[in-house]
Amino acid sequence: MGCGCCSHASTEKDTLRVTIVGLENSGKTSLVQCLKTSKKSRQTSLCVSTHGVISINIQTNMNFLVFDCGGCKHQRHIWPHIMNSPDVILFAVDSMDLTCLNDAREALSDLLVDENLINKPLLVIFTKSDRENKLSIDQLEQTLDLSVIKVTIKEESLLII
């Protein structure tokens, strides 16, 4: 069952192309590492900011080509140039940083009106949601003007809450 994007991609081509975008320090690279190792990331060290776009091949029971895009304001102009190729887009939002939510809402709104994204699945992921000082789902949902389906990853399995 599922959304259909994965079965469609696996039958018509051998690689699912995933683009991950979001503001800087939103946890995009940590999310990629989590996908790459199939384990929940508990990264405590600082990540180096991604400049431009980094592509990573991830092979599990399916092949993924993941594009990790830099999130600094001066780098977001490249997002539209890579948005015509992915099968799915992940938009990462730091669930601990209230000061960046308005910028995240603006960046997400820009993506939602992009012609290259018509009929492309876009998933908003709240990162760092396992931390104590995270914002509530209601705060995130209201500030970003979203309807939320609550999902969490716990011990390598997907749980719908």
Known binding residues are: 22-29, 50, 71
Q: Where are the alpha helices (DSSP H) in the chain?
A: 5-12, 28-37, 79-82, 101-112, 137-144
Cα separation, 146 vs 158, whole angstroms = 21
Phi, psi for residue 123 in degrees, rounded to 5: -115, 125
Name the residue among 98, 108, 42, 37 with its Cα closest to residue 76: 108
Cα separation, 110 vs 29, whole angstroms = 22
Q: Which residues are annotated as a binding site for Mg(2+)?
A: 29, 50
Coil vs helix vs strand at 91: strand
Name the residue among 24, 46, 22, 43 with its Cα closest to residue 34: 43
Q: Which residues are annotated as a binding site for GTP?
A: 22-29, 71
